[in-house]
A and B are shown apart, each in its own frame.
Chain A
Amino acid sequence: MRIKEHPILTFPEKEKIWFSYNGENVFGFSGDTIAAALHALGVMTLSHSLEMKRPRGFYCAIGNCASCNMIVDGIPNVRTCVTQLKEGMVVITQTNKGELYDI
């Protein structure tokens, strides 16, 4: 959910950025990180623990804790809390360590 009223800050309407989340077409706004856009859409589970596959969400927001790692445009372990959303990105929930890919 987006904040609409705030005593100090203003959040002017920004350009919509469409992207794909687990196959579904959704949108965030220009300036969002992937994690922020997903959180605004109500998505709290971003990754899963490697052994027990427990759901993991946002934690540090500074690109440090790896709790928000997702597969973005085919690349695993992308720190979605510091990666800016771009038009047409394909974002997929990661459930393993991530697989090596061809560049």
Chain B
Amino acid sequence: MIYKDLVIIGGGPSGLSAAKIAAEAGVSCLIIERDPFLGGQLVKQTHMFFGSKKQYAKTRGIDIAKILIDDCLKYQDLIEIMTDTTVVGLYKDKVITTLHDDTYKKIKAKTIIVATGASEKFLAFENNDLPGVYGAGAVQTLMNVYGVKPADKVIMVGSGNIGLIVSYQLHQAGVNVLKVIEAASNIGGYKVHASKIRRIGIPIETNKTIKRAIGKEKVEKVEIVSLDKNWNIINDSSEIFDVDAVCISVGLSPLGNLLSMIDVKMKFIKELGGLVPIINEYHQTSDDNIYVCGDVSGVEEASSAIVEGYYTGLIAAKNLGKKHKNFQDLSLEFKEQLANLRSGPFGKKTLEGLEIMKEDTNAK
């Protein structure tokens, strides 16, 4: 058994930020990451971020990943990193089972921060299991991390920010994006992203959805249909397109499976993306020594995940007896940054979700 003060599960933007602040406060910690590298989904985000300078606005995601990783590498004596390592078990007595290179290990922690992020949602339609039906984020990984062209001709399903951004990046990788379709009557993502892909000639068609993929061994064609106001299929609206891939970009759901293993209180809050742990203002779950930050506690953008990570690392360190020398200022600062990030129209849903969560936190 390995003993650790603080174990952070997930080496994405939130986990890395939590580790940095905790180390700054003097806590030694371990980051466990299942990918072969740190950085989470930032490593494929070639676009520049919005928001304010504090959350690295105007910097590309791939460069933000480098900054956050370098920040952690500065504390080599305090931050231990395990990549290519999957947490396969989490127990109530804070024992973590990891799997690496076909070997299991047990780690006992005083405090755990779960920063496992989110996964892409799937969509029900005929033949949705054919090779060539890909998550939009997965396609982004394939092309931007590994330099592999995912397909020649695709249709993007979903016009949220991921759908819009990945469509643009597919175009940059030399893939022909026929169109972006959106079942709702409005484009889901930021106008600036939508305008950018329209300028390069990719149409965004609302009130349309995919009915089925067609093909034997892989996607060869797709059938697209139009929807009325009540989301019913309009008769004779079917159109068939030749494509070799369909990208699904219909949102993310929090990856809280590990939390379900230890019976922390969870609740389905659709505004936060699905099943999330009930947390208090300190990001503590119903188990005081288990914290969460980032998308696992509510799907937002990487900017919020970073700030939540800093805040959670700060609190966890304090409760481990290592109060950061700027604790007061930083804790106010991070809270203010989160409030700012959520102040726009796109933050409304998160705020509503957090209100619903508060009812449960108070009832605790």
Contacts and interface: CB of A to CB of B under 8 A. Distances in A.
Interface of A: 1-3, 5-9, 11, 31-33, 36, 39-40, 44-46, 49, 54-65, 67, 75, 81-84, 103
**Interface residue SS majority, chain A:** loop
B150 A62 contact: no
Contact of B35 (A5, A63, A65, A103): A63
A84 B132 contact: no
Interface of B: 34-36, 41, 46, 60, 84, 86, 102, 119-120, 122, 129-135, 137-138, 141-150, 172-174, 217-218, 255
A57 B132 contact: yes
Contacts of B60: 8
B38 to A, nearest CB: 13
Q: Which 10 A-B pairs have the closest CB atoms?
A: A57-B131, A61-B138, A11-B147, A36-B146, A44-B131, A61-B141, A1-B149, A40-B148, A3-B147, A8-B46
B34 A55 contact: no
By CB atoms of chain B within 10 A, which of A59, A75, A82 has the most? Answer: A59
B88 to A, nearest CB: 11
Contact of B134 (A9, A11, A45, A59): A59
Nearest to A47: B131
B148 A36 contact: yes
A59 B138 contact: yes
B142 A36 contact: yes
A3 B173 contact: yes
Given A62-B41, A75-B102, A84-B36, 18 more contacts: A3-B149, A5-B174, A9-B144, A36-B145, A39-B150, A55-B131, A57-B131, A58-B134, A58-B142, A59-B122, A59-B133, A59-B134, A59-B135, A60-B135, A61-B137, A62-B137, A63-B35, A84-B84
